[in-house]
Amino acid sequence: MKITFEFGDDENELALHAIHGAEAFRTLHHVDQTLRNYLKHGDERFTDVNELLRYVRDEIRGVIVKVEE
């Protein structure tokens, strides 16, 4: 399958969203699995909920930063 997106000169932000959309989805899926595992089994990487929340925020920020570049 081949898909072509075309963006105008003033649509840089939309273009970056399209380029990084798959990575954002993968990150969301990874965060979802991490949270599921934490809730179901606990996770030794996180000694408390604040560490888990920092991890989740860092994962999300990693994708946002790429889009904002």
- pLDDT for 15-31, tens place per residue? 888 888 888 889 999 99
Q: Is residue 49 part of a domain?
A: yes
> What is the C-alpha separation between 39 and 11, in angstroms, rounded?
40
- Return d(Cα 62, Cα 54) in angstroms, integer: 12
What is the domain count for the chain?
A: 1
| Domain coverage including residue 49 | 44-69
Amino acid in the structure at residue 51: E
Look at residue 52 and tell me if it is in a domain. yes
* pLDDT value at 42 more than 80: yes
In a domain, 7, yes or no: no
Residue 64 has pLDDT above 90, yes or no: no
Q: Does residue 67 lie in a domain region?
A: yes
Q: Is residue 4 part of a domain?
A: no
40 — pLDDT class (breaks 50, 70, 90): very high
Q: Is the pTM of this model over 0.75?
A: no
Is residue 68 one of the residues assigned to a domain? yes
The contacts found for 39-48 with CB under 8 angstroms, 24 or more apart, are: none
Residue 55 has pLDDT above 80, yes or no: yes
Residue 17 within a domain: no
Residue 15, domain member (yes or no):
no
56-30-18 Cα angle (round to 5): 95
